[in-house]
Amino acid sequence: MSDTVVLFENVHPLADRAFEAAGLPIERHAAALAVSDLHDRLSGALLAGIRSRTRMDKAAFDAAPGLQALGCFCIGTNQVDLDTAEARGIPVFNGPFGNTRSVAELTLASVIMLMRGIPARSSAAKRGEWQKSATDSHEVRAKKLGIVGYGNIGSQLSVLASALGMHVYFYDIEPKLAHGNARSCGSLDELLEISDVVTLHVPSTEQTRNIMNRDAIAKMKKGAILINQARGDLVDIDALADALESGALLGAAVDVFPKEPASKDEAFVSPLQRFENVILTPHIGGSTLEAQASIGEDVSSKLARYLSQGSTKGAVNVPEIEPGEIKAGRVRLLSFHANAPGFLTRLNESISSTSANIAAQRLETRNGLGYVVSDLEGPLPDDFLDRVNALEGSIRARLIRP
């Protein structure tokens, strides 16, 4: 089995530190690769790191028989077949907090630019037109900002907007502690009806897809602004275009789209391109050097800890266990297995049949998957790992010898 870490899509160089400290060779690729090349490079990977353009489907996992864990050096994991990874006992890690500040800042900048009508005035100036007018130009102070989704990004945006004197309202399906003077709305409709600016900060789920459909957009205040810098399938783009065309909305900012170019060589096409009162950006909400550095450091450390300690803390698809460092004189057995009665008994009987003693053990389950970490003292036969992997219900086992 190879010990190589393969990183795609120009993952930030800070990620190298954790792997170099573990003595692992690193293979870097500046971009997402064609499928055949991707599969070829994955064939010898111990760990792999991707961003949003590399698709890890079943075929990609098939091409990586030695892959122990996958790192998504980004926020989302939509590009990964998480069910396949789970079924094979391959933890998938991401960096859910690294770009929080970057997205919040872009959103706030979009609010200010749109409230002042800057996009249209900038376009006019480039054409030689001098539109020096206060028409449809407003301060953000005392305006109502409606945040849909009060998680990491939404709550930080709340703090920044409040500092500018905005009145912040939010709606979330789960109870959330308000920051500063922010107020919770009892329903999405309530938020839409009162907000001068509505901004979306929710994941893509069955409940949120197309959340801003034609009916929802129609409930917004006349002259309001809509911002989507979260997920591309949250907004009905045609309905948004119609609302802009009719003047029902004053402007919009969109960073994510239902269909995005696969590369810089593919043309970007959207019905929003004809509007000068719209800010369109190419999915760059988290694309700052600071965010990429933070994510690089975060995800690489999770991968390295899994490899050296078996820690699955922060994994999105497997049970989470943080077993800590391995004490001197012990070896650690990691075992992913089907979540069904009897496996732990079979595992411990297998250990008992050797000269080893169980010094510590932790078990967690998630859906149909179980994960048990056992610290063992004493000698183990050469075929011990083969015995564990052969147990009924076993998916994948690994020994860590400090």
* Among 53, 283, 387, 398, the one annotated catalytic: 283
- Nearest by Cα to 93 from 305, 309, 289, 363: 305
Q: Is 267 exposed, middle or buried (0-12, 13-18, 19+ CB in 10 A)?
A: exposed
CB within 8 Å of 255: residues ≥ 6 apart: 106, 228, 229, 280, 281, 282, 283, 284, 285
CA 295, CA 193: separation in Å to the nearest integer? 36
If residue 124 lies in a helix (H) or strand (E), which one and from where to where?
helix 118-126
CA 269, CA 144: separation in Å to the nearest integer? 32
Q: Distance of alpha carbon 77 from its chain centroid, rounded?
A: 5
* Among 20, 260, 297, 364, the one annotated catalytic: 260
Q: Is 260 a catalytic residue?
A: yes
CA 378, CA 358: separation in Å to the nearest integer? 9
CB within 8 Å of 185: residues ≥ 6 apart: 146, 169, 170, 171, 191, 194
Residue position matching structure tokens 């000698």? 379
Residue 310 falls in which region: left (phi positive, over 0), alpha (psi -120 to 50) or beta: left
CA distances from 227 to 239, 246, 343, 377 (A): 14, 18, 50, 57
Residue position matching structure tokens 């989507």? 228
* Among 51, 231, 305, 337, the one annotated catalytic: 231
**Two tokens, residue 18:** 């954790």
Q: Is 283 a catalytic residue?
A: yes
Residue 165 falls in which region: left (phi positive, over 0), alpha (psi -120 to 50) or beta: left
3 state DSSP class of 80? strand
- Nearest by Cα to 274 from 236, 245, 250, 246: 245
Residues with active-site annotation: 231, 260, 283
